[in-house]
Every structure is written in structure tokens, then in C-alpha cells.
Amino acid sequence: MADYSELKRLAEAFPADLDWDSNTEPFFNGPSGESLGGGSTGFYCVYGAPFEIDGEQYDGHRYVETCKADFAKFMVAARDGVLALIAENERLERLALDSVNAEYAANMDLESVCAERDQLRAEVVGLKTGYEAYERVNAELKAENEALRKHAERYRWLRDSECAGRILRDMGAKVCRHADQRIDAAMGKGEQS
């Protein structure tokens, strides 16, 4: 961004109350009182603030004696125009800076939201992994529960069975590795009768 401080200082030092007017030829009265001259020259002058001396009004100091109308108009408008342009540039610089700051803040918010999103994704992955482990353990527990239920059924049947003594005698009155199979076989026979 440009530094306009020197231009601003010069513009502020430039006279603020300039005016312009057309130059006229000097006005003379001829010997018999006729008007000689006094017409427009087509040139203009730029002068400072008018002043008064002893009740008489005078044009201010002439800064430019002869110039074209556009130049005179420019000289009068230059100070305020330059100051207005500098003020507009300063306003636009502040606006651009505010916009950059707002964009930076939005980016920081976005980074924060993205970090939170990533954390939530990681938590979801952890929860899925935990849930899958829970499902596996649950399936294992269901299978174990079903096996235990079958064992309990066998032993309740054996306990309540009239054939318990015969089965134990057939087993040699000791528990063997095939007792469950023998009890299952006996239960199957018992259900058929």
C-alpha cells in the first residue's frame, strides 16, 4: 500500500480558498469617454481569497496569472480532489485490511472445525472398533451360554432320570471324556420312549 503522507501534507498546505476568473484587457476611457478594451482575453487567472482594505474588496494574491479555463478549474479543485482521493484510498485500505482479517478469522474457524471433525472421526472409528469387539465378545458369550445351557440340560436330565444308576455303572462309575456324548445319546433315547 502506498504512502501518501507527503502528497497529503502538500495538498493540505495548498491554499484552500482559491478561485478563478477570466482575465480582461485593461479598461481605458478614450479622450472623449469612449470605452477602449476591457474585453475577454480568453485566459484566466487563479487567485487566493479576496480581502478587504478600507471597505474596498480586492482579489486575493494571484497564483497563476494567465492560463486556460480547464487549468484554472483544475487548480481550484486540485487540493480538495487530492485530499478526497487520499481519504478514499485510506478507507479502501482499511476495508481491505478488515477483509483480510475477517478471512483470516474465518480460516482459523475453519481449521478449528476441521480439527474437531477429525477428532470426531477418530472417535467414531474407535467406537466402531469397540462395537465390533463388543459384537464378537457378545457372539462368543452367546455361544458359550448355549453350550452351558445344553450342559445344564444334560445334567438336569441325568439327575432326574431313573436310568442314572445304570448310566453311571455303564460309565464305570467314573466321569470320562465321553460322558457328554453318552448322556446326549441316552437323552436322545429317553426322549424317544
User: Could you tell me which residues come within 8 angstroms of residue 22 by beta carbon, excluding any fewer than 6 positions away?
Assistant: 40, 41, 43, 44, 69
What is the reported pTM?
0.47
| Cell numbers 482594505: residue | 53
User: What is the C-alpha to C-alpha distance for residues 63 and 14, in angstroms, rounded to an integer?
Assistant: 11
Please give the average per-residue pLDDT across 39-58, as a whole number. Answer: 79
Grid coordinates of 3: 504512502
Q: What is the pLDDT of residues 53-81, one digit of tens each?
A: 888 877 778 888 888 888 888 888 888 99
Task: Enumerate the domain spans of the chain.
Answer: 5-90, 161-192
Q: What is the pLDDT of residues 137-161, one digit of tens each?
A: 999 999 999 999 998 888 777 767 7
Supply the pLDDT for residue 136.
Answer: 94
